[in-house]
Copies of this chain bind each other. A is one copy, B any other.
Amino acid sequence: MSYNSFGRVFRFTTWGESHGPALGAVVDGCPPGIALSEADIQPFLDKRRPGTSRFTTQRQEPDAVKILSGVFEGRTTGTPISLMIENVDQRSKDYTEVAKAYRPGHADYSYDAKYGFRDYRGGGRSSARETAARVAAGAVARAVIPDVEILAYVVEIGGDAIDRDNFEAAQIAKNPFFCPDEAAAGRWEKLVDEARKAGSSLGAVVECVATGVPAGWGAPLYAKLDSELASAMMSINAVKGVEIGAGFGAARLRGEENADRMRPSVEGSNHPAFLANNAGGVSGGISTGQPVVVRVAFKPTSSILTPVETITRDGEATDIVTKGRHDPCVGIRGAPVVEAMMALVLADQKLLHRAQCG
């Protein structure tokens, strides 16, 4: 069943396809009186925007957002905020081949199996272009949690990980990979170039950290903060794994290593001092006051120039090559999307906490 809405009290609904006239999001439940204009949203869209380097798709989309409702005299009114982004560069091309055969790794076959037919132009609704709407909605969410800072960056491409000792937050905005390790960014340039030229593609791991989340957000049991984050991240196109804090690594720790030891609160802090953050800022589904840390695995882009065995809609064997303009590593542009989903979850959790606990 199609559920294109996310959130419990701070909610958003997205709509639109890769090659339709526009796409958008309706944000509902936003608190009133928050300063908001298109200029607050656009920078986040610009970070995700395609066509800005040779390491992303060459589709040229200005991704200019329009606020169609919910804001009056520069402030949110508490009513639905409708955000629209027009599609500009839907290149008219021949989709005959894509229409006839399934691209492995794509949702072509599964959509067809479910719905009986599909909008095959650029992937239709399954296109990562939908994530522009999330990023726009995420910018509204950020305005709801002004004390929280959210930063996502790429920690691994094609199996080549950053060196944590080289971590420098200032680097992230300086290279086309959202990479905090200058040396890794240099290596990735060659790696991604090579994959692109070979008609191949690479996977990536994105890490996202939210600081300033007070202790107490989230709840048992089926809307745990980490459960909501897992759902949010896994809903992003091409994501195959999500972990919180030490994540899969925690399964290799012993109890005494994993438990984040606590010391009395340091002056000026509103929470205990923790000697580690294996929990990733979430215990029992509730934030601890430590940074919330999530890692997200993106598979390699499925649209590649390398021929792959597949079948036609009629069940005949064939090979397929996906021409067109594609990201050689879709995980790179995933970073701003992961940030947006983090913001959307946290804004919802802030309001939910306020609802129950005042």
Contact = CB atoms under 8 A, between A and B. Distances in A.
A252 B156 CA distance: 9
Contacts of A69: 15-17, 20, 22-23, 125
A227 B231 contact: yes
A36 interface: no
Interface in A278-301: 278-280, 282-289, 297-301
Nearest 4 CB-CB pairs, A to B? Answer: A107-B284, A241-B243, A105-B259, A1-B352
Given A4-B26, A115-B33, A248 B248 contact: yes
A335 interface: no
Interface string A96-122: 000000111111011101111111010
Contacts of A316: 264
Given A247-B240, A263-B311, A13 B5 contact: yes
A20 B55 CA distance: 39
Interface in A1-24: 1-6, 8-9, 11, 13-17, 20-24
A332 to B, nearest CB: 12
Interface string A157-187: 0110000000000000000000000000000
A109 B248 contact: no
Give the oligomeric copy count: 4
Nearest to A66: B21
A327 B245 CA distance: 22
A3 B231 CA distance: 15
Interface residues of A, number: 156
B247 A297 contact: yes
A124 B286 CA distance: 15
B3 A255 contact: no
A286 B110 contact: yes
A92 interface: no
Interface string A236-259: 010011111111101111111111
A311 B256 CA distance: 16
B299 A258 contact: yes
A33 B300 CA distance: 32
A235 interface: yes
